[in-house]
Chain A
Amino acid sequence: MKRKGWVWLLTLVLSLQVILAACSGNNNSGSGGGTSGGSQQPNTGGNNSSGGVVEIVMWHMEEPPNRVQRFQEIADAFNAANPDIRVIPQVQSWGDAYTRFPAAIQAGKGPDLLFTIPDYTTLINSLGVTQPVDDIVADLDAKHKFLDAALSPYQYDGHTWAVPVYGMVQVLWYRKDILDEAGIEAPKTWNDLKAAVEKLTTKDRYGIALPASRSLATDQVIYTFMITSGAKDIIDENNNVTFNNEKTVRAYQMYADLLKFSPPDSNTYQWGEPQAQFNAGKAAMAIEKGQYLSVFEEESGRPASDLGVVPMPVADGGEEGSIYYSNGIMVMTDDPAKKEAIKRFFDYLLEPETYGKFLNAEPGLFLPVTESGSKADSFWNDPVIQKYKPQVDVLLKASEKGQLFGFTKGVSQKVGQISGPNYLSQVLEQIAINGLSPADAVAWGQQQMENAVK
C-alpha cells in the first residue's frame, strides 16, 4: 500500500522533470516565420559557430516589413556567396534600443553587429564592449570615399566607432495639390511657413502635422527648428550645455505656435501619424525624412508629382540646414573569426552593386554615405527613386547642410544622456501641456540637461 503512494510521488516528480525539460528544450526551436529565417541557437553575442560556419547576429531597428525584408535579402545573398559565414539580421525597436539593449549587452546577450546613430553610439560605448573599426573604415574610405558629415560623428578618442551605412535628412514635405489650390508657394522662411500654415488650416484640414509626443521623433523635428533658428549648438565636446539662449527659445515659440495648426492629438504623434495625416490630405505639410516617397501614391491616391518637397525654411538670422543622421553599424564582438567575417560583409555591403539595393530598402529615406554610392546605378535605377528623382535631389542637397545635436562642436560623449530621456520633447511638453512660457521651459530644460550629463 505504501508503494502506491510512492508511485504517485514518482509520477509527479517525473512529470515535473518532463515539463521542465520541455519548457527549456523549447529555447532552441527558433524557426517558423520571423526575420531570422532559420533555426539556430538563439544565444547571440559570444556564441561561436556550429560546424565551421561563422554566425554573425546583426540587430537593426528598421521595423517596417519592406525594410526587414530587404535587409534579409541582402544578408541571404551574402550568405549564399559566402557559405562559411551566416549573417542573421534581427529587427528591434528604437524604444528597446535605449531601454533594454544596454542591459542585454552588459549581460553578454548583445549582437555582433548593432545598427546605430551617433548619440546612441556614445551611450553604448560607455559599456566598453564596442570595437573600434578604424581599419575597416580606412579600407572602405579608400575604395568608396565616405562623406565627411557621415563619418565625423563617429570619430573621437582617436578611433572610429561605427561604419556609416546610410544618411537620413529632414525636409519640408508639402501637398502640391493642396498648396496650388490655395495659391500658396512652398515656404522658404519661417514667416512664409507661418503664413502658409495659417492659410491652409480650414475646417477639415490642418496646415501642418507636427509630432509633439515625448519621443525621438519629436526631438528630431524640434532640432530641425533649432538649427534653422541658429541654435544648433546644444552641447559641446566638454559636455557644456548651451541649450538656454534666445534662439532656442525662439525655436520653441515657433513650434508651439505651429502646433495650434496641427491636429489635436499631435502629442501622441511620432513618425507614422503625421505621415498618415499628410497622405490622407488632412494635413498639408509635414517635416520629416525621406520615408514619404515610397508609399505616397498608394496611400494618398494622388500622383507622385503632388508630393512637394523643399529644404526646411529658415528663420531671420538663422541658418540653413536640418537634422541629419548618419546611421552606422557598430561591431560588438572581439572574436577574430567573426571580425574577419564582418570585414567581408562590410566590403560586400558597400560595393556599388549591392549598396544601392541596400539603400533602397526604403528609397529616399536611406541616402548614400559614400561617393561611389551616390553615383551607383543600383541606387538610381530603383523604380521609386526614378519616379521621384526631383525629390531625391532635394534630399541629397539638404544632406550637405545636415547637423546633429551633440556633434556640432566636436563630439559630446554624453549626448546620449540627453537623447535617451528625450529632453528636447520634454521641454516642448512643458510649454504645450504645463503652460510654461518658452523661456521658462528652455531654462528648465537647461537645468535638466546639466543634471543629466553631470
Chain B
Amino acid sequence: MDALSKGKLFNKVLPFLLVAPIVVWLVITIIVPLFSVVKESFYSTGFVGTKGAFVGFDNYRNTILSSTYWNAWGKSLVWVLGNALLQSILAFGIALLLNRKTRFNEFARTWMIIPWVIPTIVVVIMWQWILNGSYGIFNHLLQTLHLIDKPVNLIGHSFWSMPMVIFINTWHWFPFMAVIILAGMSTINEEIYEAADIDGVNKWQKFWKITFPSLGKVTFALGLVGTLWSFNIFDTIYFLTQGGPAGKTTTIPVLIYQQAFESYRLGQASATSIVTALILIVYAYFFIKFLGPKDE
C-alpha cells in the first residue's frame, strides 16, 4: 500500500479504535455477566459458585407465580412514583427559586448539590440519627411541640417506613435533578417571559405554559433515566430497612439480593432478574415511543 491509502485506511479504522475501549469494557463487564445470569436462571443453583441441576423454566414459573415477586413490584412502583413525585416537587421548587441571578443563588446553585455528592451510607447514617426512635432530634422536636408523647420509630413503622425511605432518597437526589432542571431552564429565552409579562400572564401560568413545556427534552431524559435509576436503587433501602419491616420496603432489587444471598437461591434470583429486566425493556420501549422527542 502506498502512503496515501495507508492514511485512508487508518482514518477509516480510527473511529473504531477510539470507541473500542469503552465498548470492550461494557461488553466484558455488563454483557458477558448478563449471559451468565441468563444461564444461571435455568439451573437450581443454591449458593453462589456451586453447581445446580438444569431445571428448565421452573425458576421462571416460580417467579411469575409468586405473590412475593408481584408484591415487590408493587413496592417498586410505589418507590419509583413516590420518588419521582417528591423529587420533582422539590427539584422544581428549588430550581425556580434559584433561577434568578443573585450572588446567593450563584453560591447556592453550586453547593445545593452537596447531598448528592456524599456517599449513600453517610446519607443513611445522617437520617437514621435524626430519625432515631429513641434519641433522634426529630422525635425530640415532635415531643416538644406536643405532637406525640412517646418517641416514634418512623423508619421501622409498618406504614411510615416506605414514605420515610422515599423521603431520604429524595433528599439524596433532588439537588442533582434540580441542577439538570436549572440547566434546561437556562436555555429558555428571557424574551418569552418578558412577552408573557406584558400580556399579564401570572406566575402559575408562566410555569405551566412556558417553563414546563420548554423543558421537554430535559424532563424526558429525567423521566426515562431517572425512573430506571430509581427503580434500580438498592443501597439506600437495604441500609435503612433491609427490606423490612416485614417486607414493607422490599422492592425488586432488595428481593433479588435476598433470594441470592439470604435464601441462597441463585438460580431463582437470576430468573427474577431476567423477568424484571424484560419488563423494564418493554417499559423503556413504550416510554421512548410515546413520550420521546419527535426529532431523532
* A–B contact via C-beta, under 8 angstroms: yes
List A residues at the B interface (Cβ < 8 Å): 98-100, 102-103, 105-107, 123, 126-127, 213-214, 263-265, 267-268, 273, 277, 282, 417, 420-422, 426, 429-430, 432-434, 452
Binding-face segment, B43-51, B75-83, B105-113, B227-235: B43-51
Q: Which residues of A contact B248 (CB under 8 A)?
A: 433
Q: Are A268 and B133 in contact (CB under 8 A)?
A: yes
Q: Are A267 and B262 in contact (CB under 8 A)?
A: no
- Interface presence of B261 (CB below 8 A): yes
Q: Are B246 and A98 in contact (CB under 8 A)?
A: no
Q: Are B245 and A429 in contact (CB under 8 A)?
A: yes
Q: Which B residues between 223 and 253 are near A, CB-CB below 8 angstroms?
A: 242, 244-248
Binding-face segment, B94-102, B149-157, B171-179: B149-157
Q: Are B261 and A434 in contact (CB under 8 A)?
A: no
CB<8 Å pairs between A and B, sample of 16: A102-B47, A102-B48, A103-B49, A106-B49, A126-B50, A127-B50, A213-B244, A263-B134, A264-B150, A264-B151, A267-B153, A267-B245, A417-B264, A420-B262, A433-B244, A433-B246
Q: Which residues of B contact A421 (CB under 8 A)?
A: 258, 262-263
| Interface residue from B47, B133, B264 paired with A264 (Cβ < 8 Å) | B133
Of A214, A277, A432, A434, most buried by chain B (CB within 10 Å of CB) is A214
| Interface residue from B46, B133, B242, B264 paired with A265 (Cβ < 8 Å) | B133
Q: Are B48 and A268 in contact (CB under 8 A)?
A: no
A252 and B129 alpha carbons, distance in the complex (Å): 30
A107 and B50 alpha carbons, distance in the complex (Å): 10
| Interface residue from B50, B150, B246 paired with A426 (Cβ < 8 Å) | B246
- Interface presence of B59 (CB below 8 A): no
Q: Which B residues between 159 and 180 are near A, CB-CB below 8 angstroms?
A: none
Least CB distance from B69 to A in Å reads 15
Least CB distance from B80 to A in Å reads 23
Q: Which residues of A contact B132 (CB under 8 A)?
A: 265
Q: Are B246 and A430 in contact (CB under 8 A)?
A: yes
Q: Are A429 and B48 in contact (CB under 8 A)?
A: no
Q: Which residues of B contact A127 (CB under 8 A)?
A: 47, 49-50
Please tell me the number of chain B residues within 8 Å of chain A, measured between CB atoms: 26
A107 and B156 alpha carbons, distance in the complex (Å): 36
Q: Are A263 and B261 in contact (CB under 8 A)?
A: no
Q: Are B244 and A214 in contact (CB under 8 A)?
A: yes
Q: Which residues of B contact A422 (CB under 8 A)?
A: 262
The 9 closest A-B pairs by CB, nearest first: A265-B133, A106-B49, A265-B153, A433-B246, A103-B48, A429-B246, A99-B261, A102-B47, A267-B156
Cβ proximity bits B102-143 to A, threshold 8 Å, 1 near / 0 not: 000000000000000000000000000000111000000000
Of B132, B150, B156, B248, most buried by chain A (CB within 10 Å of CB) is B156
Mostly, the B contact residues are loop
Q: Which B residues between 22 and 55 are near A, CB-CB below 8 angstroms?
A: 46-50
Q: Which residues of A contact B247 (CB under 8 A)?
A: 429
Q: Are B262 and A98 in contact (CB under 8 A)?
A: yes
With both beta carbons as reference points, the residue of chain A lying nearest to B131 in the complex is identified as A265
| Interface residue from B49, B150, B151, B152 paired with A107 (Cβ < 8 Å) | B49
| Interface residue from A420, A426, A434 paired with B158 (Cβ < 8 Å) | A434
With both beta carbons as reference points, the residue of chain B lying nearest to A128 in the complex is identified as B50
With both beta carbons as reference points, the residue of chain A lying nearest to B260 in the complex is identified as A99
A265 and B264 alpha carbons, distance in the complex (Å): 29
Q: Are A99 and B262 in contact (CB under 8 A)?
A: yes
A264 and B150 alpha carbons, distance in the complex (Å): 8
Least CB distance from B84 to A in Å reads 27
Q: Which residues of B contact A103 (CB under 8 A)?
A: 47-49
Least CB distance from A429 to B in Å reads 4
A426 and B258 alpha carbons, distance in the complex (Å): 13
Q: With contacts A127-B47, A264-B153 known, is A429 near B244, CB below 8 A?
A: yes
Least CB distance from B141 to A in Å reads 16
With both beta carbons as reference points, the residue of chain A lying nearest to B150 in the complex is identified as A264
Q: Are A214 and B242 in contact (CB under 8 A)?
A: yes
With both beta carbons as reference points, the residue of chain B lying nearest to A106 in the complex is identified as B49
A214 and B47 alpha carbons, distance in the complex (Å): 21
Least CB distance from A428 to B in Å reads 9
Least CB distance from B100 to A in Å reads 43
Extra contacts, 15 of them, besides A264-B153, A432-B246 (Cβ < 8 A), are A99-B262, A103-B49, A105-B49, A126-B47, A127-B47, A265-B132, A265-B134, A265-B156, A267-B244, A268-B156, A420-B263, A429-B246, A429-B247, A433-B244, A433-B248
| Interface residue from A105, A106, A214, A268 paired with B153 (Cβ < 8 Å) | A268
Of B47, B134, B152, B244, most buried by chain A (CB within 10 Å of CB) is B134
A123 and B248 alpha carbons, distance in the complex (Å): 28
Q: Which residues of A contact B245 (CB under 8 A)?
A: 214, 267, 429, 432-433
With both beta carbons as reference points, the residue of chain B lying nearest to A204 in the complex is identified as B150
Least CB distance from A257 to B in Å reads 18
Q: Which residues of A contact B46 (CB under 8 A)?
A: 126
Q: Are B262 and A434 in contact (CB under 8 A)?
A: no
Q: Which residues of B contact A277 (CB under 8 A)?
A: 134
Q: Which residues of A contact B153 (CB under 8 A)?
A: 264-265, 267-268
Of B132, B133, B150, most buried by chain A (CB within 10 Å of CB) is B133
Q: Which residues of A contact B49 (CB under 8 A)?
A: 102-103, 105-107, 127
A272 and B49 alpha carbons, distance in the complex (Å): 33
